[in-house]
Amino acid sequence: MLQNLTAAAVKKIALACGFDLAGIAGASPAEDYGRYHAWVQAGAAGEMRYLTDRRGELRQDPANLLPGVKSILCVGKLYNSPYPYSTALSDAERGWISRYAWGEDYHDTLREGLSRVAKELERAAGESFEHRICVDTAPILERSYARLAGLGWIGKNTCLINQQKGSWFFLGELLLNLELQPDSPPPDRCGKCRRCIDACPTTAIVPSSNGDWTIDSRLCISYFTIEKRGAIPAEHHSSMGKNVFGCDICQDVCPWNGRAPRTEAAAFQPREFAPPLDRLAAMTEDEFRSVFRTTPVWRAKYAGFLRNIAIAMGNSREPKFLLALGKLARDSRPEVSEPARLAIRKLQDGAVADAGLPTMRA
Ligand code: SF4
Ligand code: SF4
């Protein structure tokens, strides 16, 4: 019988299936949809159509995803590993790939884990029931429900933060047509801290309409390097530093990640940690596919990735990259060649300045 499944039993099954966090939220319409809507209306979603088109409206109510949904099982899966934070990496010849993207694509791993949970729940209940698995791309305000399910609070850097586990975890949800006792949200423990706001190199963490903090994607390095297609406005290149896919700075500096636990999951063990920029720039499209096809980096696409590498090379102050940049500057795609030309100019100006000579420009 379905109703024999208690909230405690459901969470126990989720943890036994390999998740590190599990909690239950009621499936009522999203209470902070208004805030999300205002964020989109203000243009802060940039060009991310999946947030601004009809799929955005679906986020208002999880019943749009599963009619009759009563409860949401929210789960978290750690992905932290024992490698340094980006704020501790001073090697200018290396590019930074966001921590979450070092292993397998999490969408498949979380989906498989949640399918296992659903099967175990059906086995425990002795009958099948309607459910829907959501991982990241499904139109649901997942951090809001994860907060209601007690998994953490939403920090000023807009990440979900768990008091014991920090913020290096993926989120997933299992929508259930099963009435379960919901958990309670934890208190917001950011307090007066504003380390993430002060550390953000592009001042992308901005006050929101309701007095909280939010991220203006149009200023965020993660958005530029992953979601933005075409050119990245030149005025942002310098502040992008060494980031070639995503940006971890506002999580690296968060005190709740100071001693964040690490994952044992094989899928999230690093394949690429801060790879040398010249090796990345030399990758053919086939090599890019074979290295990154099954990782989140694939989302940037080959041309976008080369664009990001050109910008990082320009920020490196390393004249040794001039040769690789010369090749990128001859690329037929302007999104690659233009930042490469700007980077060459930057390295040349830097070399002249380092030699104490006046900069000449035609
Ligand atoms: S990801 Fe980077 S650029 Fe974006 S808000 Fe955080 S620190 Fe700023
Ligand atoms: S750095 Fe400080 S303000 Fe930012 S999310 Fe972490 S605790 Fe909150």
Give 89-111 pLDDT, tens digit per residue: 989 999 999 999 999 899 999 99
Ligand 1 centroid from CA 172, angstroms: 22
pLDDT digits (tens, 9 = 90+) for 282-319: 999 999 999 999 999 999 999 999 999 999 999 999 99
pLDDT digits (tens, 9 = 90+) for 206-247: 998 778 999 999 999 999 999 999 999 999 999 999 999 999
- 68 CB burial (10 A radius; 0-12, 13-18, 19+): exposed
User: What is the tally of structural domains in the chain?
Assistant: 2
Show contacts of 333-338: CB within 8 Å, 24+ apart: 333/303, 334/231, 335/229, 335/230, 335/231, 335/303, 335/304, 335/307, 336/303, 336/306, 336/307, 336/310, 338/231
Using CA atoms, how far apart are residues 322 and 326, in angstroms rounded to an integer?
6
- In a domain? residue 287: yes
Question: Does the structure show a pLDDT above 90 at 205?
Answer: yes
- Which of these, 192, 201, 179, lies nearest to 72 by C-alpha position? 179
The catalytic residues are 136
Spatial contact of 180 and 70, defined as CB atoms under 8 Å apart: yes
Q: Which residues contact 262 (CB under 8 A, 6 or more apart)?
A: 78, 80, 81, 82
170 and 21, same domain (yes or no): yes
- Mean of the per-residue pLDDT values of the chain: 92
Q: What is the CATH number of the domain that holds 320?
A: 1.25.10
- In a domain? residue 29: yes
- In a domain? residue 70: yes
Higher pLDDT, 16 or 208: 16
- Radius of gyration, CA atoms only, the chain: 22
- In a domain? residue 343: yes
**What is the reported pLDDT for 36?**
83
96-97 and 71-78: which strand pairing? unpaired
215 Cα nearest atom in ligand 1: 5
Element (H, E) at 58: helix 54-58
Using CA atoms, how far apart are residues 174 and 254, in angstroms rounded to an integer?
29
- How far is the first Cα of the chain from the last one, in angstroms, to the nearest whole number? 80
Using CA atoms, how far apart are residues 134 and 147, in angstroms rounded to an integer?
16
- 70 CB burial (10 A radius; 0-12, 13-18, 19+): middle
In the listed set 155, 176, 197, which residue is the last one of a domain according to the structure?
176
pLDDT digits (tens, 9 = 90+) for 51-86: 777 777 778 889 999 999 999 999 999 999 999 999
Which domain covers residue 118, as residue numbers? 2-79+103-176
155 and 281, same domain (yes or no): no
- In a domain? residue 7: yes
How many of the other CB atoms lie within 10 Å of CB of 332?
Answer: 7
Q: What percent of the chain has pLDDT over 90?
A: 78
Ligand 2 centroid from CA 193, angstroms: 6
Q: Read off the pLDDT band of 358 (50, 70, 90).
A: low
Spatial contact of 241 and 315, defined as CB atoms under 8 Å apart: yes
- Which of these, 311, 295, 305, 296, lies nearest to 347 by C-alpha position? 311
Question: Does the structure show a pLDDT above 80 at 320?
Answer: yes
In the listed set 176, 207, 230, which residue is the last one of a domain according to the structure?
176
Q: Ligand nearest 212 Cα, by number?
A: 2
Using CA atoms, how far apart are residues 58 and 61, in angstroms rounded to an integer?
6
- Which of these, 157, 158, 309, 329, lies nearest to 232 by C-alpha position? 309
136 and 7, same domain (yes or no): yes
- 360 CB burial (10 A radius; 0-12, 13-18, 19+): exposed
171 and 297, same domain (yes or no): no
18 and 156, same domain (yes or no): yes
25 and 158, same domain (yes or no): yes
Residue type, 258: G
What is the phi/psi pair of residue 200, to 5°? -65, 120
What is the phi/psi pair of residue 41, to 5°? -60, -30
Residue 13, ligand 1, Cβ within 6 A: no
Higher pLDDT, 270 or 247: 247
- In a domain? residue 212: no
38 and 172, same domain (yes or no): yes
- In a domain? residue 200: no
Please report where in the chains the tokens 């209601």 appear, as a residue.
Answer: 148
Ligand 2 centroid from CA 256, angstroms: 8
pLDDT average, residue stretch 337-347? 97
User: Ligand 2, atom 2: nearest CA belongs to which residue?
Assistant: 193
Using CA atoms, how far apart are residues 344 and 161, in angstroms rounded to an integer?
40
Give one word for 165, left, alpha or beta, with left for phi > 0 and alpha for psi -120 to 50.
Answer: alpha
Mutation test residue for ligand 1: of 48, 97, 205, 214, the one with most atoms within 8 Å of CB:
205
Ligand 1 centroid from CA 175, angstroms: 30
In the listed set 176, 196, 229, which residue is the last one of a domain according to the structure?
176
- In a domain? residue 151: yes
Q: Which residues contact 112 (CB under 8 A, 6 or more apart)?
A: none
149 and 9, same domain (yes or no): yes
288 and 171, same domain (yes or no): no
3-state secondary structure of 267: helix
